[in-house]
Structure 1
Amino acid sequence: MKTAYSRVSRSVLMATAAFAAPAALAQTAPQAAADAAAVSDGTEIIVTAQKRSENLQNVPISIQAFGTQKLEQLNVASFDDYAKALPSVSFQSFGPGQTQLSFRGITSGGDGLRGGSQPTAALYLDEVPVTTIGNAVDLHVYDIARVEALSGPQGTLFGSSSLAGTLRIIPAKPDTKGFAGRIDVSGNKVGKGTGGGSIEGFVNIPLSDRAALRVVGFYQRDGGYIDSVPGSRTFTLGDDDPTTNVTVNNAKYVKDNVNTTDTVGGRAALKVDLDDSWTIQPAVIYQHQTTHGSFLFDPRIGDLKVTDFGPSRNRDDWVLATMTINGKIGNWDLTYAGGYFDRKIDNLSDYSEYSVAYDQFQGGFYTYFPTGTGSFLDPTQQVHGHDALTKQSHELRISSPAGERYKLTAGAFFQRQTDRIVADYYINGLAAIPNSPAVPKSGDDLFATRAYRVDRDYAAFIDGSFDITPQLTLAGGIRVFKYNNTFVGFSGFASNTTAANCVAVVADDRVCNNFDRQAKQTSETHRVNLTWKIDPDRLVYATYSTGYRPGGNNRRPNVNPYVSDTLNNYELGFKTSWFDRKFRLNGALFYEQWKNLQYGLSPVGSSGVTNIYNAGNARVYGAEMDFNLRLGGLNLSGSGALIDGKLTTDFCSFDTNGNPDCSLGVVAAAKGTPLPVQPRFKGNMTARYEFDMGKAKAFVQASLNHQSGTRSYLTTREADLLGRTKGFETFDFSVGAKVSGFDISAYIENAFDKRGILSINTVCTPSICGGAARFYPIKPQVFGIKLGHDL
């Protein structure tokens, strides 16, 4: 805890020092209404999707937003919980904190890999981007004002990594109006697994009529449901001599319900009104999450079962310090938003399936290790990965007064993110044997990576609108950007440390660098929108917008860099309210052109190293819709997305260096191949009935979630080896009541214990390890009870 505390303290000091100087600047416009995120009937929400406070129904963007009340009703606590309620959102995952997020099918695998592509979708905590080179942060959802999911390119106002969409999580803000607080406790049990629970609370303390402090704390334990069962395997060591065989078992790692998760953290935010025009809001968020065991199961072994031959855990430790300054210059609003993000990911995984596959595929090259005493090493591999990620971002923008015929927002943005990568693919005892193939300076590593990546983004943007008539508005914007990404270090086997491969001896943790590369570009993204407000309750809009994702470098020698991919989005949408706003219906039709799509793949002969390629072009057709109907105490709501994405060019096969080469006459994926991960259809419906029961306000609720099957890989060979997931439906039910400031509820999620599969993953390239593919399931049946009290 001392280390965690010192990191939080250091980040707070850094934020205070770094942001004190610009205190004469300023941040957003009046956000009081936006931060409240609530409305009279509980179905409308004020959002800041266009960096202004606006009613959701007046924003000409395909956006889904959940306020505090809706998040509580859906029992949302983590990424998986709200992702299932967002039809246009899909993801690949190896468990909590190991997720890659995407919108509208704009994903192709490889996002979030060490040294790989930046994500296709941006993640923001309030005003600050926390999209990193690694996987998406899995923020514990408590005391959150709202979640906004913006579909389609958001490159004008949100920039890099908003290629396909942007997900914003906006915490509740300090309030000077009065004291408030709450405490919530819960207990739950996975149907055939172990128990869990949580304790959460917040207090809002007015310090004066111009200052307030809000403090949040939480701890959650998620029970396990995957069993590591007994198993053994025999390595032939690449020959036909049974005397050289090595047989191992996993007795040490046999345990039921291995995949538990512990999440602990908190948030502190201060609001100070310097005068009637200027406000400063420093904040810090800290979270530590530890998972144990595998969150994927092996269907060859049985339902929710694996045979692990090594330990598995993931530790995700991060802190975010932010400062926002809001003020006015005349009647224009000035906003400064800055943040410093520090994240440490430490992952230990069983890599034994790689050993098994390469024992058979490479004739013992990765498994034949004589000890010099007549025996042979157990060639079972583990992989220990550590990423030290940092990110600082600064945005300064100015906005014209609301309510004017002309509206304008303009600003500048800078961010710098780093990833210090340490990855050890090791076999215990390897360094001590004669003629060891261990990588120098890396212990027992058969393969090692020591690398440092820096991504820098600079941008200037302007976005505005003009009311041609009171009903017709023309809007548009442009963002000019520059990125400069560098990647240097070592990655490879001991054979890669020869003079022919090395650049120089540069650091104590590696013999040399065998790559030192740079990628940079200057370009722009833009959008045009025409909105017709038919009447106060109905509007239609047409949008053309573009997005981009920076290019970068591969670590494997001779593999070419990958260039930026871009997205053109053509969208027609509508937002309507009917019957005195008792019925809301919103929708959008879109067509997207994805050019030079970046795709992560480990081709045969790459020794399992994943490279990023530009796999050609693709297109996506789709439709999104959501509705809400209030009939007295009954509320019906739902949303759905129909998405069809396919390649429009061939993705060529690979030459001997591992680069795509169309002259070979074969393809890795042909024109017309469906894009992976995103289901063709995903939707949900919820019915909630609220009624009086004596002095209590009671409710019953039922939800249905459905999604169709998916493929996990773009390339044909890999997709055929793994097969498709199947479509599935799940049902959630809850009941509860509120009386005298107390809330109590009981719920059951995935009531009928459906085994929905979200993705099929392998430890190495499917052409080698496809026979050992594992399934990432949705949560099994969970029973729970929650108790809350307003202080």
Structure 2
Amino acid sequence: MSGRARLMEFSASLLATTAMAVPAMAQQAAPPADSDVIVVTAQRREERLQDVPISINALGQAKLEQANAKALDDYAKLLPSVSIQSFGPSQAQVFFRGVATGSGGPPLHIGPLPTSSTYVDEIPVTTIGGMVDVHLYDVARIEALAGPQGTLFGASSLSGTLRIITNRPELGKTTGSIDLQVNKFSKGDFGGSAEGYINLPISDNAALRVVGFYDRTGGYIDNIPGSRTFTLDDGDDDTELPVNNNALVENDYNDVETWGGRAALRVDLDDNWTVTPQFLYQSQIAHGGFFYDPTKGYLNVTDYLPSRNKDRWWQAALTIQGKLSDWDITYSGGYFERKVDNIADYSYYSVAYDSYTYVDDNGVTQPGFATYFPDANGQPIDPTQTSHQNDKYTKFTQELRVNSPTDKPFRLAAGMFLQVQTDKIGADYQTVGIGSIPTPIWLTPFGTSDTVFLTRVKRKDRDYAMFTQAEYDIVPSVTLIAGVRGYAAHNTIYGFSGTNSAGNLDPANCFPTSMPDVPCANVHKKQVETGAIWRGGLKWQVSPDVMLYGTVSRGYRPGGNNRRPGVNPFKSDKLDNFELGWKTHFGRIYFNGATFYQKWRDLQFGLVPVGQNGVTNTYNAGNARIYGVEGDLSARFGGLSLSASATYVDAQLTSDFCEVDPVTKNIVCTPGVPPAAAKGTRLPIMPRFKGSATARYEWPLGATTAFVQGSVTHQGGTRTFLTDADFAAVGPTRPFTTADFSVGAHWDSWRIEAFIQNAFSSHGALGRNTICATEICGAYARTYPTKPQFFGLKLGYDFE
């Protein structure tokens, strides 16, 4: 039986079960809604959201479930200060408040760290090649902390910090849930999920919480028939080579399968000390691509080679919390390992090079023979190229933190932090069959393999820090805040990257190595930086329901190394944030917000210089400034709940980003030569306006409590790239609005819900990008769409 048939059978069974369960199980109305009070740990201690002088969007478990949010694309639209740049599941980067440069192509592995950090509970899981896309189930909340958070959360918290807080084991009670779902894209495939957790008391002082999930998301992009003819760049019509994609034609070819779980054990050693070890595992395989080609029609592509992203990761974590006298002590440590295996259709690189030419010594334009690879019989092989990238990430993290009593006028948090993260990078750009033919005219494979561009590099980033943050109540209603973090960063890369050419194998720059599968080591660099960042502010509790605050803070992102010989390392960039905010509560209405001004200095930018075979270097591109205002409003009137949030951002360069010198490969400003991006150029990725609003109404219906909910999200258009040439090649995204609706009921321990997302089939674009450098592939740019119309049915059961 096929996967689709099994899902359809599962769907029918679920619907039948639901139909029988509703009348049989509806015995009494559900308990009243949870309290509006939200508790967060944004300052590394538990506090009411309304008391924290930081701009925070907190999405609690109920909010996430009501929005049917399971992955990054689902909840990012609920966070107005957040924008994403994505190539599909587990291939995205997150940005706060417009702190983004929009470097082209897939996420860089030898390049800058992300501008925002991601935490699961107390431990960072940030990786350079794409954010870990944690499947959300049994999650207490998501905390989105906008603005630099470096004092308490360290490197890469330049623009903000995203925290995923899981539910912890509870003592003395057995509880659990089972959740089933069947869903379908209106013009795509079926999907479904099964999720569950159980909380088990082991003894009076110990409890175990175990979570498991399986989720299959159907595809919605069609790989339609197509053909192309390679001229083989030799000027001879007799050697033209037609190719087609008949073997890969498939509807709904971008399906995703995700499964995994976690287990957490809580042991109270006594009244003061608690030990909580936890283990998480997730495996995800995404087939096909998640961009569509506008020239082929909405949600259509013509791919000539298979695409797949396989992402497996696990984390072992230990948290110890206790007291020494009346001081709180917290130790958190973890080891994280992630393996990503990505295969992508890189054929448009070959198409672009099929028209490659050069000018000879006599000034005559000659064919480049860039795609002409004759076999032993003189017959050309298909020059189509594929990209195969393997990464193995590890992250070892240790933090020890102390907090003074929270009921004193003077309060202190201080600690030490250590992190060592590695990335073992393997990349092969291949042309099938090229390894078994006579040496090509210009592009020699490595040995008998089909690899024509090879990367085998080990990257190691070490971070060390000491930090402290203090609060002092000048008077009971006015609090002075100050913090500092001293850091040291030591980053190295070692290995080989390049083509099998004399320039890359030059003994003067490529040294003997014991690394397997490489001819020599032409990359051996390090970058060491030390410094300090800070935070200061005032908090004024005007009344029990009104709080005002002002903050000045600095965040940083460590520098790093470029793999190309002769290209200088890039240094750290820093973001200074000046913010005025408010937290208010008037009767049934909560209104929080902030205005901010940010200065971004020496911003790190990935750029492909002309003639570099599509290899990206990272440069410090200049300076930028960002103005903005953000706010959220919520209210409850009986069974009616209303909420809305929005952000307006104006972000632009404050200095020219000049051109790359073709000889030194470094950025230079030449009088009379237009810059790559002039002062005043808008920063990419983040729309000027992004907002969402939700209305939910619950009412008694016989023995049940029924509900209906509607949400609307609007996002403005974006500039897709920073440099003018890249932006001209790819173009902007346009504004769009989507609407989601759901209806359902809950009674006793049962829940049932039907939902539809993007109900009016908005063809919104979250991004436009290319699979290789825009210089080469800009004419073949594709669009990353918002999720197309999607509907489903959920059934849940809670027990205790």
TM-score greater than 0.5 by the shorter chain: yes
Q: How does 1:138-217 map to 2 (within 5 A)?
A: 138-217=133-212
Q: Is the 8 A contact 1:439 1:448 kept in 2?
A: no
Distance 2:368 2:658 in 1: 31
Distance 1:92 1:780 in 2: 18
Alignment-derived partner of residue 400 in structure 1: 404
Q: Is the 8 A contact 1:592 1:621 kept in 2?
A: yes
Q: How many angstroms does 1:41 deviate by?
A: 4.8
Alignment-derived partner of residue 466 in structure 2: 460
Q: How many angstroms does 1:266 deviate by?
A: 0.4
Q: How many angstroms does 1:209 deviate by?
A: 1.3
Tell me how many residue pairs correspond in the alignment. Answer: 752
Q: Find out whether 1:571 has 2:604 as its counterpart.
A: no
Alignment-derived partner of residue 63 in structure 1: 56
Deviates more, 1:434-443 or 1:448-457: 434-443
Q: How many angstroms does 1:40 deviate by?
A: 8.0
Q: Is the 8 A contact 2:58 2:142 kept in 1?
A: yes
Q: How many angstroms does 1:442 deviate by?
A: 7.6
What is the one-letter code of the residue matched to 2:197? Answer: F
Distance 1:636 1:596 in 2: 42
Q: Is the 8 A contact 1:506 1:513 kept in 2?
A: no
* Superposed CA RMSD: 1.3
Alignment-derived partner of residue 588 in structure 1: 594
Alignment-derived partner of residue 304 in structure 1: 299
Distance 2:702 2:607 in 1: 61
Q: Find out whether 1:660 has 2:667 as its counterpart.
A: yes
Alignment-derived partner of residue 379 in structure 1: 383
Over residues 323-365 of structure 1, what are the superposed CA-to-partner deviations in whole Å (9 max), with x where a residue is unaligned? 0000111110000000100000000000000000111134444
Q: Find out whether 1:678 has 2:682 as its counterpart.
A: no
Alignment-derived partner of residue 563 in structure 2: 555
Q: Which runs of 5+ in 1 are unaligned?
A: 1-37
What is the one-letter code of the residue matched to 1:370? Answer: P
Distance 1:43 1:433 in 2: 69
Q: How many angstroms does 1:606 deviate by?
A: 1.5
Distance 2:328 2:137 in 1: 30
Distance 1:389 1:541 in 2: 39
SS in 1 for 2:153: coil
Alignment-derived partner of residue 132 in structure 2: 137
Deviates more, 1:109-118 or 1:121-130: 109-118
SS in 2 for 1:497: coil
Distance 1:604 1:738 in 2: 61
SS in 2 for 1:357: helix
What is the one-letter code of the residue matched to 1:87? Answer: P
Among 510, 514, 534, the residue aligned to 1:502 = 510
Among 471, 477, 480, the residue aligned to 1:474 = 480
Q: Find out whether 1:291 has 2:286 as its counterpart.
A: yes
Q: How does 1:254-403 map to 2 (within 5 A)?
A: 254-362=249-357, 363-403=367-407
Among 697, 708, 721, the residue aligned to 2:716 = 708
Moved over 3 A (4+): 38-42, 361-366, 436-439
Over residues 380-403 of structure 1, what are the superposed CA-to-partner deviations in whole Å (9 max), with x where a residue is unaligned? 000100000000100001100111
SS in 2 for 1:300: helix
Q: Find out whether 1:486 has 2:492 as its counterpart.
A: yes
Q: Is the 8 A contact 1:438 1:447 kept in 2?
A: no
Q: How many angstroms does 1:575 deviate by?
A: 0.3
Q: How many angstroms does 1:504 deviate by?
A: 2.3
Q: Which runs of 5+ in 2 are unaligned?
A: 1-30, 358-366
Distance 1:463 1:123 in 2: 21
Q: Is the 8 A contact 2:92 2:130 kept in 1?
A: yes
Deviates more, 1:540-549 or 1:594-603: 594-603
Distance 2:654 2:101 in 1: 14
Q: Is the 8 A contact 2:258 2:282 kept in 1?
A: yes
Cα 1:464/1:627, change in 2 over 3 Å: same
Alignment-derived partner of residue 543 in structure 1: 551
Distance 1:143 1:508 in 2: 43
Q: Find out whether 1:776 has 2:790 as its counterpart.
A: no
Distance 1:118 1:172 in 2: 29
Q: Is the 8 A contact 2:446 2:452 kept in 1?
A: no
Distance 1:311 1:674 in 2: 36
Q: How does 1:633-782 map to 2 (within 5 A)?
A: 633-657=639-663, 658-663=665-670, 665-782=673-790
Over residues 527-556 of structure 1, what are the superposed CA-to-partner deviations in whole Å (9 max), with x where a residue is unaligned? 001000001111000000000000001112
Among 75, 88, 96, the residue aligned to 1:82 = 75
What is the one-letter code of the residue matched to 2:274? Answer: T
Over residues 473-518 of structure 1, what are the superposed CA-to-partner deviations in whole Å (9 max), with x where a residue is unaligned? 0011000000000011111111112324412233222001111000
SS in 1 for 2:708: strand
Distance 1:442 1:218 in 2: 43
What is the one-letter code of the residue matched to 2:373? Answer: F
Q: Is the 8 A contact 2:356 2:370 kept in 1?
A: no
Q: Is the 8 A contact 1:441 1:510 kept in 2?
A: no
Q: Is the 8 A contact 1:442 1:510 kept in 2?
A: no
What is the one-letter code of the residue matched to 1:533? Answer: Q
Q: Is the 8 A contact 2:233 2:370 kept in 1?
A: no
Deviates more, 1:657-666 or 1:455-464: 657-666
What is the one-letter code of the residue matched to 1:72? Answer: E
Q: Find out whether 1:44 has 2:37 as its counterpart.
A: yes
Over residues 573-605 of structure 1, what are the superposed CA-to-partner deviations in whole Å (9 max), with x where a residue is unaligned? 0000002xx100000000000000001121321
What is the one-letter code of the residue matched to 2:520? Answer: C
Alignment-derived partner of residue 528 in structure 1: 536
Distance 2:322 2:448 in 1: 53
Q: Find out whether 1:619 has 2:614 as its counterpart.
A: no
Among 405, 408, 416, the residue aligned to 2:420 = 416
Q: How many angstroms does 1:441 deviate by?
A: 4.9
Alignment-derived partner of residue 11 in structure 2: none
Q: How many angstroms does 1:97 deviate by?
A: 0.3
Distance 2:369 2:493 in 1: 29
TM-score by length of 1: 0.94
Q: How does 1:426-437 map to 2 (within 5 A)?
A: 426-436=430-440, 437=443
Q: Is the 8 A contact 2:117 2:161 kept in 1?
A: yes
Cα 1:249/1:222, change in 2 over 3 Å: same
Over residues 59-104 of structure 1, what are the superposed CA-to-partner deviations in whole Å (9 max), with x where a residue is unaligned? 0000010111111111111111110000010111110000011100
Q: Is the 8 A contact 2:435 2:447 kept in 1?
A: no
Alignment-derived partner of residue 96 in structure 1: 89
Alignment-derived partner of residue 13 in structure 1: none
Distance 1:622 1:441 in 2: 55
Q: How many angstroms does 1:112 deviate by?
A: 3.8
